[in-house]
Structure formats: C-alpha cells, structure tokens
C-alpha cells in the first residue's frame, strides 16, 4: 500500500510539462524512504523495477534526487526531496501522468 498525506495531484511542472505529486510525510523527515516508495510505485504499475527505475547510487542524507522511470513507451522524470517530503513524476504529456495515477489509485491510501 502506498501511503500519502494527500490525494494524487497532477499540476503544471514549473520547468515545463506536468507533474504527478506524492506528498508523503513531514518536512525534513529522513525516515521517509522515497526509494521504497518508488519500488512500490513501480510494482503497482506492473513495471520491472530493475529495468525501468533509474536512480543515482544511494547516499546517506540524500536530498533533491533525480532519476527516471520508464512507463510503457514513456520516460518519466523523477524528483524527490526530504526538505518538503514529496516525490514527483514529471512528463510533457498530462495524459501519461493521468494513466499512471489511474493505475495507482487502488494502491494509494491517504492517511
């Protein structure tokens, strides 16, 4: 189960395109494992995590991390930060993010 503090939200990405935002915890809570959350997202989408999720090597105290997740024929940009405790999947096409959100809704619990 993917536990979030607010419902999934698609909004404009300040750098262009769109973003699907996952609010997960309290600001500066380094106990939040965004990597585990990304594994849960990847599994819920029916993707092969070892082939579809690309992140830099883990660093203690990591923050402002960028990566990619392949979803079907699309490549989603990933960004997460502990400072504001959120993860975003970004794409130029809102429809792709809507497809992701629709597939994830059954696996999301707002707490």
pLDDT for the residue 97: 96
Please give the C-alpha separations between residue 19 and each of 58, 61, 86, 95, in angstroms, as whole numbers. Answer: 23, 24, 12, 11
Q: What pLDDT was estimated at residue 25?
A: 82
Residue 27 pLDDT: 84
The residues near 59 (Cβ < 8 Å, ≥ 6 apart) are none
pLDDT, position 1: 85
The DSSP line for 27-57 is TT-TT--HHHHHHHHHHHTT--HHHHEE-PP
pLDDT at residue 35, rounded to an integer: 92
Q: Considering just the CA atoms, what is the radius of gyration of the chain in Å?
A: 13
b/e string for 31-47 if b means 16 or more Cβ within 10 A?
ebebeebbebbbebbeb
State which residues of the chain have pLDDT below 70. Answer: none
How confident is the model at residue 47, as a pLDDT? 81
Query: pTM of the full predicted structure?
Result: 0.91
**pLDDT tens digits, 22-44:** 998 888 888 888 999 999 999 99
pLDDT at 101: 96
Predicted pLDDT of residue 93: 95
């Amino acid at each position: 189960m993917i536990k979030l503090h607010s419902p999934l939200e698609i909004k404009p990405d300040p750098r262009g395109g769109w973003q699907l935002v996952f609010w997960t915890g309290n600001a500066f809570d380094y106990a939040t494992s965004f990597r585990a959350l990304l594994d849960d997202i990847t599994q819920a989408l029916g993707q092969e995590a070892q082939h579809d999720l690309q992140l830099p090597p883990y660093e203690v105290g990591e923050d402002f991390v960028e990566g990619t997740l392949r979803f079907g024929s699309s490549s989603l940009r990933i960004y997460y930060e502990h400072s504001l405790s959120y993860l975003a999947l970004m794409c130029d096409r809102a429809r792709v993010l809507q497809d992701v959100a629709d597939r994830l809704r059954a696996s999301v619990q707002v707490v």
